[in-house]
Every structure is written in structure tokens, then in C-alpha cells.
């Protein structure tokens, strides 16, 4: 009996599906099987998408009111929830994540993103100033926000729907039109979202999707297109640097959330059980494939052995398996190519003198999963900040545990990095928690928690971790351009 044909994922432009100039496979990281074919967008298809976006700005969408856009975003959120299981299936098919994680985090947050930015845009005030001039005259100045224009939205494979909606929601709230380029590894949810947005009543051309790769493909064609007014990107630092060079030729604004080598500091007075639970989540969530994950753990020497043993115990309880199995806690890495990268760091750590406390290799899960991209959750001791595996982003379920003796030493070690995305401080002394968190050279610092977010707060990194801030009003500032109006009274 022949197998049914694989789904064919097409580009979405001006309210319709569009074929590409070539086709590539969407490969499951669970077992290495092809789960869909994807239409790759050539330069002509990318140009079509940019032109469709521009046309929508010149039509009714360009004159839409804040109230209308906020209502649209809320309708989109409602439809995401109504079709949530379709999004779960799409994300699981591409990423291999446990279904429960996708349902509770990725899909739930996608709907939340649209509602949060609907609320933000609806309550965003205008800036105005009444000025008394030296000659007795008065002037009223007020700033009117205008859309940035056509925005290129380039999203990664680790949280494809969550990060897509985190960018698309504020872009649409501000009245922009977008051309989305999802990762070639995770094309499904961006295409499904196109259906949702059209169902919610968005005009054709407001949301467009092009599929493909980076250099010599849709990514390069999009970022270099003269019709793009701005670029928002989440992904690795090297790719961000390439996009920045392309954007510079047309002096376009960019918003980048890039890599991280995030630190956690565990003081001797920390609540051990709560800290271990938080650390285990921050190291192993989504198989370590979250930009905010902890890869460096600095532990006070007086409790180092206790913390190390507790983390090993929690790591041993993780269960790798198929996404639909209720006992599964941990999925595969996104691809065998990425596993090769992570595995190379596992080998390097041993060569650099690491003591492997947990994992350190590729698991044997049986013939039906051997074609997947599985990796063992891993913990190391015996390294310091000079080791490459402590300095370079690995983006897997791994962390190095390093002892310290004083607060100043802990701060120095945590800040000894070219990255600056996030940090976590674990202590029962809240005065010290505030003090140390503020000394971290990062965009986000947590005290006695991790990954707890108010969507109105600034999100972004320093150094190699990015440029710009997203979240709440910060996002609106990027996706809009103020026009100041001065009226003499």
C-alpha cells in the first residue's frame, strides 16, 4: 500500500499560495523522515511578496485606525486558540518537541502575544508639549506615530511560532505590512498563521511568507531588497552580522535578538530545592534550545557539591522520547547537523579537561529513533572561564558548573563574556539579589526565577547578544516612526 503524499508547504503572498522555484524537504528531528515538501522562494517570489506588502500599505490597511488594528489582533488571538491543535501538530512535526510543551508554551504564548500588543497599542499615549517661546508666543508640539513600512521578519527554529508572533503582533499593531522568512527547518506554523490572519480579516498583502534558506536564497533576497524598510531578526550572532551589513546599504533600522552564553549565580544562602528546580529548567528546557537558557552556573564553593549532585539527579529524571508520549520531557535537537555541532562541544569539553557529571554523548533510543537528532542532557565540572565550551554558545541541553568564593568574584566571572543577554541570581538575601542583578551586563536579569516575563518589559541583549529592545512600548518604538507636528498658537 502506497504512502499518502507529503504535505506541500507553499509561499503565501497577497492572500494566496504561491509556488517556488525549487523544492526542499522538511525533515523530522525525531526520526529523520521527511514530513513535508517546501516551496523555496526565488528572488522573483520574494520581490512579489515585498510588492504585495507595499501595495497593502497604499490601500485600506495604510489608513487603518489603532482601534481597528487592535480588534484585528484580538480576532487573530481568538482564532489561534480555536485552531490550537493544528498549531500543536505543525510545531511538533517541525521541531519534535513534546506536545505538552508546545501546547502550554508555544501556542499559548502566541495567542497571548497578539492580545498583549492589542492592549499596548490601544493604550499607547501621544507625546505632546506646550512650549512658551521667548517672544511671548506659544507652540503645541505633538508626535504622530506612522508605520515603519514593509518589515522583513526573520525567525529561528527553536521557538518558531512564539518568536514569530512576538514580532508580527507589534508590527501589525503599528500598521506595518510584513514579509516573513521562517527557518527552513520550521516552515509550518508561519504558513498556518497566514490562514489565521486572513480569516481574522486582514487585507491581502499585510502578511506574506517566503520560504527558503539564507545566503543565495530567500533570506538574502529579502534582507537585500530595496523595498524593505526595516529588519527584525532573532537567531545566531553571525547571521545577524550578515543581515546588518545588508541593511546598512539602505540605512534601514534593525532589531536583533542574537545568541547568549547566559550565567546563573548560586549563593550559599539560596533555597536549594527551588534553585535546583529553576536551574534544571533553565538548562534543559526545549533541549537547551532557548536563547535565554543557562550554560554557565557559578556556585558558591560551600554548596558546590550539593548543587552539582542535585542537578545530576534532576537531569537523570529527564525522559527522551516521541512527542506524543506522556512521559516524554525532552525532545531532540532540531537537526542532525545541529547535533553534530553540539556533539563536537561535548568532545571538546573532555579534551579541555571537563569532568562529565551527566550525559556527554548520543543516546541509543532504538532503531525507530536512530535517524533523529537526539543528544544526552549534559553537565560538566572541572572547567574555568578560559575553556572554549564555557565561552562559546553551544545551544544544547548543557551547562558547566564552576565554583566561586566571593560576590565580586561571581560577578566578574558572570560578566566575563562577549555576550550579554540574560542572567539569573539565586539567593535568599533580596538586598544582594537586587545588587548583583543590577551589576550584570545583560539585557535581562532574574532573581530567584527564570523565564518569567511581563510582555511589557524590555527584551533584548548587549554585546554579541543583539541590538535594540522589544516588548511593550519598546516594540512600538521600533515598528513606528514619529512625525512631529508643531502648531503655533
Q: Report the catalytic residues.
A: 257, 291
Strand order from edge to edge, sheet including 254-257: 16-18, 11-13, 207-209, 177-181, 150-154, 230-234, 254-257, 466-467
What distance in Å separates the CA atoms of residue 318 and residue 329, rounded to the nearest whole number? 6
Among 274, 192, 237, which residue's Cα sits nearest to residue 7? 192
In angstroms and rounded to an integer, the radius of gyration of the C-alpha atoms of the chain is 24
> What DSSP string describes 23-36?
EEEEE-TTT--EEE
Pairing of strands 355-358, 378-381: antiparallel
Report the C-alpha gap between 169 and 117 in whole angstroms. Answer: 6
Specify which residues 25 forms β-bridges with: 37
Give the CA distances from residue 60 to residues 56, 121, 203, in Å, rounded to whole numbers and listed in that order: 7, 19, 8
Residue 22's contacts (CB-CB under 8 Å, 6 or more residues apart) are 39, 40, 42
Burial of 460 (0-12, 13-18, 19+ CB in 10 A): buried
Distance CA 23, CA 8 (A): 9
Phi, psi (deg, nearest 5) at residue 429: -95, 95
Residue 129 CA to residue 142 CA, distance in Å, equals 6
Helix (H, G, I), strand (E, B) or coil at 277: helix
Distance from C-alpha of 381 to C-alpha of 416, rounded to nearest angstrom: 18
End-to-end CA distance of the chain: 81
Exposed/middle/buried for 58, CB within 10 Å: 0-12, 13-18, 19+? exposed
Give the pairing of strands 11-13 and 16-18: antiparallel
Contact 339, 373 (CB under 8 A): yes
What's the CA angle centered on 284, arms 258 and 462, to 5 degrees?
20
The phi-psi region of residue 400 (left if phi > 0; otherwise alpha if psi is between -120 and 50; otherwise beta) is: beta
Amino acid at each position: 500500500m502506497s504512502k499518502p503524499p507529503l504535505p506541500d508547504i507553499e509561499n503565501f503572498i497577497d492572500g494566496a499560495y504561491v509556488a517556488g522555484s525549487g523544492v526542499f524537504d522538511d525533515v523530522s528531528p525525531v526520526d529523520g523522515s521527511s514530513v513535508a515538501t517546501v516551496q523555496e522562494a526565488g528572488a522573483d517570489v520574494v520581490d512579489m511578496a515585498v510588492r504585495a506588502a507595499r501595495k497593502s500599505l497604499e490601500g485600506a490597511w495604510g489608513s487603518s485606525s489603532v482601534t481597528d488594528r487592535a480588534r484585528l489582533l484580538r480576532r487573530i488571538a481568538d482564532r489561534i486558540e480555536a485552531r490550537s491543535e493544528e498549531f500543536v501538530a505543525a510545531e511538533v512535526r517541525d521541531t519534535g518537541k513534546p506536545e505538552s510543551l508546545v501546547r502550554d508554551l508555544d501556542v499559548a504564548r502566541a495567542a497571548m502575544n497578539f492580545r498583549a500588543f492589542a492592549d499596548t497599542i490601544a493604550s499607547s499615549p501621544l507625546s505632546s508639549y506646550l512650549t512658551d517661546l521667548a517672544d511671548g508666543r506659544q507652540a503645541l508640539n505633538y508626535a504622530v506615530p506612522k508605520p515603519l513600512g514593509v518589515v522583513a521578519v526573520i525567525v529561528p527554529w527553536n521557538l518558531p511560532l512564539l518568536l514569530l508572533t512576538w514580532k508580527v503582533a507589534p508590527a501589525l499593531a503599528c500598521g506595518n505590512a510584513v514579509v516573513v522568512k521562517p527557518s527552513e527547518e520550521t516552515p509550518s506554523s508561519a504558513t498556518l498563521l497566514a490562514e489565521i490572519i486572513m480569516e481574522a480579516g486582514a487585507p491581502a498583502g499585510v502578511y506574506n511568507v517566503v520560504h527558503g534558506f539564507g545566503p543565495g536564497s530567500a533570506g538574502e533576497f529579502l534582507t537585500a531588497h530595496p523595498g524593505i524598510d526595516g529588519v527584525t531578526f532573532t537567531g545566531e550572532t553571525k547571521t545577524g552580522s550578515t543581515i546588518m551589513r545588508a541593511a546598512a546599504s539602505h540605512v534601514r533600522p534593525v532589531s536583533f535578538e542574537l545568541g547568549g552564553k547566559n550565567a546563573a549565580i548560586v549563593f550559599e544562602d539560596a533555597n536549594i530545592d527551588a534553585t535546583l528546580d529553576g536551574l534544571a529548567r533553565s538548562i534543559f528546557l526545549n533541549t537547551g534550545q532557548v536563547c535565554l537558557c543557562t550554560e554557565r552556573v557559578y556556585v558558591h564553593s560551600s554548596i558546590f557539591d550539593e548543587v552539582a549532585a542535585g542537578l545530576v539527579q534532576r537531569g537523570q529524571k529527564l525522559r527522551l522520547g516521541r512527542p506524543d508520549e506522556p512521559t516524554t520531557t525532552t525532545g531532540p535537537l532540531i537537526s542532525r547537523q545541529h547535533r553534530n555541532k553540539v556533539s563536537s562541544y561535548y568532545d571538546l569539553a573532555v579534551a579541555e579537561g571537563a569532568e562529565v557529571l551527566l550525559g556527554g554523548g548520543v543516546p541509543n533510543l532504538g532503531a525507530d529513533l536512530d535517524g533523529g537528532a537526539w543528544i544526552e542532557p549534559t553537565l560538566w565540572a572541572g572547567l574555568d572561564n578560559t575553556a572554549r565550551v564555557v565561552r562559546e554558545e553551544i545551544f544544547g541541553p548543557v551547562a558547566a558548573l564552576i565554583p566561586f568564593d566571593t560576590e565580586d568574584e561571581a560577578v566578574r566571572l558572570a560578566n566575563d563574556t562577549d555576550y550579554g543577554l540574560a542572567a539569573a541570581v539565586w539567593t535568599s538575601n533580596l538586598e544582594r539579589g537586587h545588587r548583583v542583578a543590577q551589576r550584570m551586563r545583560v539585557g535581562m536579569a532574574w532573581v530567584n526565577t527564570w523565564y518569567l516575563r511581563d510582555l511589557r518589559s524590555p527584551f533584548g541583549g548587549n554585546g554579541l547578544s543583539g541590538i535594540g529592545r522589544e516588548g511593550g512600548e519598546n516594540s512600538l518604538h521600533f515598528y513606528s516612526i514619529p512625525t512631529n507636528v508643531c502648531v503655533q498658537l
